[in-house]
Amino acid sequence: MADAPVTDASRSSDAQRRHDPAVRGFASDNYAGIHPEILAALALANEGHQVAYGEDDYTAHLQDVFKTHFGERAQAFPVFNGTGANVVSLQAILPRWGAVVATETAHFNVDEGGAPEKMAGIKILTVPTPDGKLTPELIDLQAWGWGDEHRSQPLAVSITQSTELGTLYTPDEIRAICEHAHERGMLVHVDGSRLSNAAAALGLPFRAFTTDVGVDVVSFGGTKNGLMLGEVVLVLNPDAVRNLSYLRKTSMQLASKMRFLSVQFEALLAGDLWLRNASHANAMAKRLEAAVAAIEGVTVVRPVRVNSVFALLPREVSERLQKRYRFYFWNEHTGEVRWMCCFDTTEADIDAFAAAIAEEMGRK
Protein backbone atom coordinates (compact mmCIF):
# COMPACT_ATOMS: atom_id res chain seq x y z
CA MET A 1 0.00 0.00 0.00
CA ALA A 2 1.37 3.40 -0.97
CA ASP A 3 2.31 5.84 1.76
CA ALA A 4 -0.27 8.55 2.36
CA PRO A 5 0.84 12.11 1.60
CA VAL A 6 1.97 14.17 4.54
CA THR A 7 -0.75 16.74 5.12
CA ASP A 8 -0.68 17.33 8.87
CA ALA A 9 0.25 20.99 9.16
CA SER A 10 0.78 20.57 12.88
CA ARG A 11 3.64 18.10 12.43
CA SER A 12 6.74 19.64 13.98
CA SER A 13 9.81 20.46 11.93
CA ASP A 14 13.33 19.34 12.74
CA ALA A 15 14.68 22.75 11.66
CA GLN A 16 16.00 25.01 14.39
CA ARG A 17 16.66 28.73 14.46
CA ARG A 18 20.39 29.20 13.90
CA HIS A 19 20.64 32.96 14.32
CA ASP A 20 19.78 35.71 16.75
CA PRO A 21 16.95 37.73 15.17
CA ALA A 22 17.91 40.74 17.28
CA VAL A 23 21.22 41.11 15.42
CA ARG A 24 21.09 43.73 12.68
CA GLY A 25 23.52 44.63 9.92
CA PHE A 26 24.02 47.59 7.62
CA ALA A 27 25.97 45.88 4.85
CA SER A 28 23.16 45.16 2.41
CA ASP A 29 19.41 45.33 2.02
CA ASN A 30 19.68 41.65 1.12
CA TYR A 31 20.31 40.93 4.81
CA ALA A 32 16.67 41.51 5.72
CA GLY A 33 14.18 38.68 5.94
CA ILE A 34 10.90 38.29 4.08
CA HIS A 35 8.10 40.76 4.66
CA PRO A 36 5.17 39.09 6.49
CA GLU A 37 2.76 39.99 3.67
CA ILE A 38 5.05 38.21 1.21
CA LEU A 39 5.17 35.14 3.45
CA ALA A 40 1.39 35.16 3.61
CA ALA A 41 1.18 35.33 -0.18
CA LEU A 42 3.55 32.37 -0.51
CA ALA A 43 1.36 30.35 1.84
CA LEU A 44 -1.71 31.34 -0.17
CA ALA A 45 -0.15 30.03 -3.38
CA ASN A 46 1.13 26.85 -1.75
CA GLU A 47 -2.07 24.82 -1.65
CA GLY A 48 -2.75 22.28 -4.37
CA HIS A 49 -1.13 21.95 -7.78
CA GLN A 50 -0.40 24.50 -10.49
CA VAL A 51 1.11 24.02 -13.93
CA ALA A 52 4.89 24.40 -13.86
CA TYR A 53 7.32 26.66 -15.73
CA GLY A 54 5.17 29.77 -15.79
CA GLU A 55 1.88 28.39 -17.07
CA ASP A 56 0.25 28.93 -13.68
CA ASP A 57 -2.54 31.32 -12.76
CA TYR A 58 -0.29 33.56 -10.67
CA THR A 59 2.19 34.24 -13.47
CA ALA A 60 -0.67 34.92 -15.88
CA HIS A 61 -2.18 37.47 -13.49
CA LEU A 62 1.23 39.03 -12.87
CA GLN A 63 1.21 40.39 -16.40
CA ASP A 64 -1.78 42.58 -15.56
CA VAL A 65 -0.14 43.73 -12.32
CA PHE A 66 2.92 44.99 -14.17
CA LYS A 67 0.80 46.58 -16.90
CA THR A 68 -0.90 48.77 -14.29
CA HIS A 69 2.49 50.20 -13.34
CA PHE A 70 4.32 50.23 -16.67
CA GLY A 71 1.73 50.30 -19.46
CA GLU A 72 -0.13 47.91 -21.71
CA ARG A 73 2.93 46.73 -23.65
CA ALA A 74 4.81 45.59 -20.56
CA GLN A 75 5.77 41.91 -20.40
CA ALA A 76 7.09 40.34 -17.20
CA PHE A 77 9.48 37.38 -17.12
CA PRO A 78 10.26 36.31 -13.53
CA VAL A 79 13.79 35.07 -12.84
CA PHE A 80 15.69 33.91 -9.78
CA ASN A 81 18.08 36.78 -9.09
CA GLY A 82 19.47 40.13 -10.15
CA THR A 83 22.49 38.77 -11.98
CA GLY A 84 20.20 36.52 -13.99
CA ALA A 85 17.88 39.44 -14.76
CA ASN A 86 20.76 41.54 -16.05
CA VAL A 87 22.30 38.74 -18.10
CA VAL A 88 18.99 37.74 -19.69
CA SER A 89 18.02 41.37 -20.36
CA LEU A 90 21.30 42.20 -22.07
CA GLN A 91 21.25 39.02 -24.13
CA ALA A 92 17.74 39.86 -25.29
CA ILE A 93 18.76 43.24 -26.72
CA LEU A 94 22.27 42.49 -28.00
CA PRO A 95 23.69 40.24 -30.72
CA ARG A 96 26.84 38.25 -30.03
CA TRP A 97 29.01 41.04 -31.41
CA GLY A 98 27.24 43.69 -29.35
CA ALA A 99 28.53 45.75 -26.45
CA VAL A 100 26.80 47.73 -23.71
CA VAL A 101 27.92 51.15 -22.47
CA ALA A 102 27.73 51.48 -18.68
CA THR A 103 29.39 53.27 -15.79
CA GLU A 104 32.51 51.80 -14.20
CA THR A 105 30.49 51.34 -11.00
CA ALA A 106 27.67 49.39 -12.71
CA HIS A 107 26.75 46.38 -10.58
CA PHE A 108 27.08 43.92 -13.45
CA ASN A 109 30.56 45.29 -14.12
CA VAL A 110 31.99 45.07 -10.60
CA ASP A 111 29.78 42.77 -8.52
CA GLU A 112 28.45 40.00 -10.75
CA GLY A 113 31.62 37.97 -11.29
CA GLY A 114 31.88 38.95 -14.94
CA ALA A 115 28.63 37.08 -15.65
CA PRO A 116 27.54 39.19 -18.67
CA GLU A 117 30.91 38.56 -20.29
CA LYS A 118 31.39 34.94 -19.20
CA MET A 119 27.83 33.68 -19.60
CA ALA A 120 26.54 35.86 -22.41
CA GLY A 121 29.70 36.91 -24.25
CA ILE A 122 28.75 40.59 -23.92
CA LYS A 123 31.46 43.24 -23.93
CA ILE A 124 31.01 45.99 -21.33
CA LEU A 125 32.32 49.39 -22.39
CA THR A 126 32.74 51.39 -19.18
CA VAL A 127 32.83 55.11 -18.50
CA PRO A 128 34.14 56.73 -15.29
CA THR A 129 31.58 58.98 -13.61
CA PRO A 130 31.75 61.04 -10.41
CA ASP A 131 28.18 60.27 -9.34
CA GLY A 132 27.37 56.89 -10.90
CA LYS A 133 25.26 58.50 -13.64
CA LEU A 134 25.63 58.48 -17.42
CA THR A 135 24.89 61.44 -19.68
CA PRO A 136 24.65 61.58 -23.48
CA GLU A 137 28.11 63.14 -23.54
CA LEU A 138 29.59 60.38 -21.39
CA ILE A 139 27.92 57.70 -23.50
CA ASP A 140 29.68 59.10 -26.56
CA LEU A 141 33.05 58.34 -25.00
CA GLN A 142 32.34 54.70 -25.85
CA ALA A 143 29.56 54.94 -28.45
CA TRP A 144 31.63 54.91 -31.62
CA GLY A 145 33.16 52.50 -34.11
CA TRP A 146 30.00 51.22 -35.75
CA GLY A 147 30.85 49.17 -38.81
CA ASP A 148 34.39 48.51 -37.61
CA GLU A 149 34.69 44.74 -37.42
CA HIS A 150 37.62 45.05 -35.02
CA ARG A 151 35.53 46.74 -32.33
CA SER A 152 32.66 45.35 -30.30
CA GLN A 153 29.62 47.21 -31.54
CA PRO A 154 28.08 49.59 -28.97
CA LEU A 155 24.40 48.71 -29.36
CA ALA A 156 23.00 49.24 -25.87
CA VAL A 157 23.22 51.56 -22.88
CA SER A 158 22.61 50.42 -19.32
CA ILE A 159 21.90 52.77 -16.43
CA THR A 160 21.08 51.98 -12.80
CA GLN A 161 18.14 53.58 -10.95
CA SER A 162 18.88 54.30 -8.16
CA THR A 163 22.61 54.18 -8.90
CA GLU A 164 25.25 52.24 -7.05
CA LEU A 165 26.27 55.54 -5.41
CA GLY A 166 22.76 56.28 -4.19
CA THR A 167 22.09 58.99 -6.76
CA LEU A 168 18.95 59.34 -8.87
CA TYR A 169 18.18 60.08 -12.50
CA THR A 170 15.32 62.47 -13.16
CA PRO A 171 12.80 61.53 -15.87
CA ASP A 172 14.26 64.24 -18.12
CA GLU A 173 17.76 62.82 -17.71
CA ILE A 174 16.61 59.33 -18.65
CA ARG A 175 14.61 60.70 -21.58
CA ALA A 176 17.72 62.47 -22.88
CA ILE A 177 19.72 59.24 -22.61
CA CYS A 178 17.02 57.22 -24.39
CA GLU A 179 16.66 59.73 -27.22
CA HIS A 180 20.42 59.95 -27.63
CA ALA A 181 20.81 56.16 -27.64
CA HIS A 182 17.89 55.50 -29.97
CA GLU A 183 19.18 58.08 -32.46
CA ARG A 184 22.34 55.96 -32.68
CA GLY A 185 20.53 52.66 -33.01
CA MET A 186 21.18 51.68 -29.40
CA LEU A 187 18.68 50.24 -26.92
CA VAL A 188 18.36 51.21 -23.24
CA HIS A 189 18.37 48.87 -20.25
CA VAL A 190 17.75 49.92 -16.65
CA ASP A 191 19.16 47.90 -13.78
CA GLY A 192 16.34 48.47 -11.32
CA SER A 193 17.29 46.37 -8.33
CA ARG A 194 16.25 49.39 -6.22
CA LEU A 195 13.71 50.88 -8.62
CA SER A 196 11.13 51.02 -5.83
CA ASN A 197 13.46 53.11 -3.66
CA ALA A 198 13.97 55.46 -6.60
CA ALA A 199 10.23 55.83 -7.23
CA ALA A 200 9.61 56.49 -3.55
CA ALA A 201 12.35 59.11 -3.40
CA LEU A 202 11.21 60.84 -6.59
CA GLY A 203 7.55 60.68 -5.61
CA LEU A 204 6.72 59.38 -9.08
CA PRO A 205 5.06 56.29 -10.56
CA PHE A 206 7.41 53.76 -12.13
CA ARG A 207 6.37 54.48 -15.68
CA ALA A 208 7.22 58.19 -15.37
CA PHE A 209 10.94 57.43 -15.56
CA THR A 210 10.84 54.18 -17.57
CA THR A 211 8.05 53.56 -20.09
CA ASP A 212 7.13 57.20 -20.66
CA VAL A 213 10.71 58.30 -21.38
CA GLY A 214 11.72 55.51 -23.75
CA VAL A 215 13.36 52.73 -21.71
CA ASP A 216 13.32 49.38 -23.53
CA VAL A 217 14.03 46.77 -20.83
CA VAL A 218 14.21 46.85 -17.02
CA SER A 219 15.70 44.42 -14.52
CA PHE A 220 13.03 44.95 -11.84
CA GLY A 221 14.13 44.15 -8.30
CA GLY A 222 12.15 42.54 -5.52
CA THR A 223 14.61 40.81 -3.19
CA LYS A 224 15.97 44.06 -1.75
CA ASN A 225 12.44 45.26 -1.02
CA GLY A 226 10.98 42.41 1.01
CA LEU A 227 10.81 39.35 -1.25
CA MET A 228 12.32 35.97 -0.42
CA LEU A 229 13.94 35.76 -3.84
CA GLY A 230 13.16 36.81 -7.36
CA GLU A 231 13.54 39.60 -9.88
CA VAL A 232 11.75 40.26 -13.17
CA VAL A 233 13.03 40.89 -16.68
CA LEU A 234 10.51 43.55 -17.62
CA VAL A 235 10.15 44.22 -21.33
CA LEU A 236 8.69 47.66 -22.04
CA ASN A 237 9.41 47.64 -25.76
CA PRO A 238 8.61 44.16 -27.12
CA ASP A 239 9.96 45.18 -30.54
CA ALA A 240 13.42 45.54 -29.01
CA VAL A 241 13.92 42.02 -27.62
CA ARG A 242 14.75 38.69 -29.18
CA ASN A 243 13.82 35.19 -28.03
CA LEU A 244 13.56 36.10 -24.37
CA SER A 245 11.74 32.94 -23.34
CA TYR A 246 14.50 30.79 -24.81
CA LEU A 247 17.22 32.98 -23.32
CA ARG A 248 15.69 32.71 -19.85
CA LYS A 249 15.75 28.92 -20.09
CA THR A 250 19.27 28.62 -21.50
CA SER A 251 20.49 31.09 -18.86
CA MET A 252 19.18 28.74 -16.14
CA GLN A 253 16.67 31.33 -14.93
CA LEU A 254 13.39 29.52 -15.69
CA ALA A 255 11.75 28.49 -12.41
CA SER A 256 9.76 25.27 -12.45
CA LYS A 257 7.54 26.41 -9.55
CA MET A 258 7.20 29.91 -10.92
CA ARG A 259 3.98 30.61 -9.05
CA PHE A 260 6.08 31.25 -5.95
CA LEU A 261 8.09 33.96 -7.72
CA SER A 262 5.01 35.52 -9.30
CA VAL A 263 2.79 35.64 -6.22
CA GLN A 264 5.48 37.56 -4.35
CA PHE A 265 5.49 40.30 -6.97
CA GLU A 266 1.70 40.39 -6.94
CA ALA A 267 1.77 40.92 -3.17
CA LEU A 268 4.44 43.58 -3.56
CA LEU A 269 2.88 45.54 -6.43
CA ALA A 270 -0.89 45.00 -6.43
CA GLY A 271 -1.23 47.29 -3.43
CA ASP A 272 1.20 49.74 -1.87
CA LEU A 273 3.58 47.33 -0.13
CA TRP A 274 6.40 48.23 -2.52
CA LEU A 275 6.01 51.90 -1.62
CA ARG A 276 5.68 51.34 2.11
CA ASN A 277 8.80 49.19 2.21
CA ALA A 278 10.92 51.46 0.03
CA SER A 279 9.79 54.67 1.72
CA HIS A 280 10.59 53.23 5.13
CA ALA A 281 14.08 52.10 4.10
CA ASN A 282 14.76 55.54 2.59
CA ALA A 283 13.52 57.26 5.75
CA MET A 284 15.79 55.15 7.93
CA ALA A 285 18.78 56.20 5.83
CA LYS A 286 17.84 59.85 6.36
CA ARG A 287 17.57 59.20 10.10
CA LEU A 288 21.04 57.64 10.08
CA GLU A 289 22.43 60.59 8.14
CA ALA A 290 21.04 63.00 10.71
CA ALA A 291 22.35 60.93 13.61
CA VAL A 292 25.93 60.66 12.39
CA ALA A 293 26.04 64.31 11.33
CA ALA A 294 26.26 65.13 15.04
CA ILE A 295 29.29 62.87 15.56
CA GLU A 296 32.59 64.73 15.21
CA GLY A 297 34.96 63.04 12.76
CA VAL A 298 32.26 61.32 10.70
CA THR A 299 31.49 62.81 7.29
CA VAL A 300 28.61 61.79 5.05
CA VAL A 301 30.24 62.15 1.64
CA ARG A 302 27.30 61.72 -0.75
CA PRO A 303 23.75 63.04 -0.77
CA VAL A 304 21.33 60.61 0.88
CA ARG A 305 18.45 60.12 -1.55
CA VAL A 306 17.49 56.48 -1.11
CA ASN A 307 18.39 53.80 1.44
CA SER A 308 22.19 54.10 1.39
CA VAL A 309 24.56 56.27 3.40
CA PHE A 310 28.18 56.72 2.31
CA ALA A 311 30.54 58.01 4.97
CA LEU A 312 34.17 58.61 5.86
CA LEU A 313 35.58 57.95 9.31
CA PRO A 314 38.95 56.72 10.56
CA ARG A 315 39.69 53.27 9.21
CA GLU A 316 40.55 51.83 12.59
CA VAL A 317 37.18 53.00 13.89
CA SER A 318 35.40 51.32 10.98
CA GLU A 319 37.26 48.09 11.57
CA ARG A 320 36.32 48.04 15.26
CA LEU A 321 32.75 48.89 14.40
CA GLN A 322 32.59 46.02 11.89
CA LYS A 323 33.06 43.61 14.79
CA ARG A 324 29.74 44.84 16.17
CA TYR A 325 27.78 45.51 12.96
CA ARG A 326 28.29 44.13 9.47
CA PHE A 327 28.97 46.69 6.71
CA TYR A 328 31.42 47.05 3.85
CA PHE A 329 34.17 49.39 2.79
CA TRP A 330 32.98 50.97 -0.44
CA ASN A 331 36.43 52.27 -1.31
CA GLU A 332 39.37 50.43 0.22
CA HIS A 333 41.79 53.20 -0.73
CA THR A 334 39.94 56.12 0.83
CA GLY A 335 38.24 54.24 3.65
CA GLU A 336 34.75 55.27 2.49
CA VAL A 337 32.08 52.94 3.88
CA ARG A 338 28.51 52.21 2.80
CA TRP A 339 25.65 51.66 5.24
CA MET A 340 22.40 50.21 3.88
CA CYS A 341 18.96 50.39 5.46
CA CYS A 342 16.19 47.85 4.87
CA PHE A 343 12.40 47.64 4.94
CA ASP A 344 12.64 46.19 8.47
CA THR A 345 15.27 48.58 9.88
CA THR A 346 13.78 50.26 12.93
CA GLU A 347 14.39 53.63 14.52
CA ALA A 348 15.85 51.76 17.49
CA ASP A 349 18.28 49.99 15.13
CA ILE A 350 19.44 53.33 13.76
CA ASP A 351 19.82 54.88 17.19
CA ALA A 352 21.79 51.90 18.51
CA PHE A 353 24.09 51.92 15.47
CA ALA A 354 24.68 55.67 15.75
CA ALA A 355 25.46 55.27 19.45
CA ALA A 356 27.99 52.53 18.61
CA ILE A 357 29.62 54.82 16.03
CA ALA A 358 29.87 57.61 18.59
CA GLU A 359 31.30 55.23 21.16
CA GLU A 360 33.97 53.91 18.80
CA MET A 361 34.85 57.42 17.65
CA GLY A 362 35.40 58.34 21.29
CA ARG A 363 38.01 55.57 21.59
CA LYS A 364 40.15 56.64 18.63
pLDDT in tens, 227-256: 999 999 999 999 999 899 999 999 999 999
**Angstrom distance (rounded) from CA 165 to CA 169:** 12
Residue type, 193: S
pLDDT at 242: 87
Torsion angle (degrees, nearest 10) of CA 90, 93, 96, 97: -100
Q: At 82, is the pLDDT very low, low, confident or very high (cuts 50, 70, 90)?
A: very high
CA distances in angstroms from 47 to 152, 161, 261, 331, listed in the order given: 49, 36, 15, 47
Say if CB 77 and CB 232 are below 8 A apart: yes
Domains of the chain, first to last:
36-269 (3.40.640.10), 274-362 (3.90.1150.10)
pLDDT at 1: 46
- Sign of torsion, CA 225 208 178 62? positive
User: Of the given ranges (3-12, 68-77, 173-182), which has the lowest mean pLDDT?
Assistant: 3-12
pLDDT at 76: 98
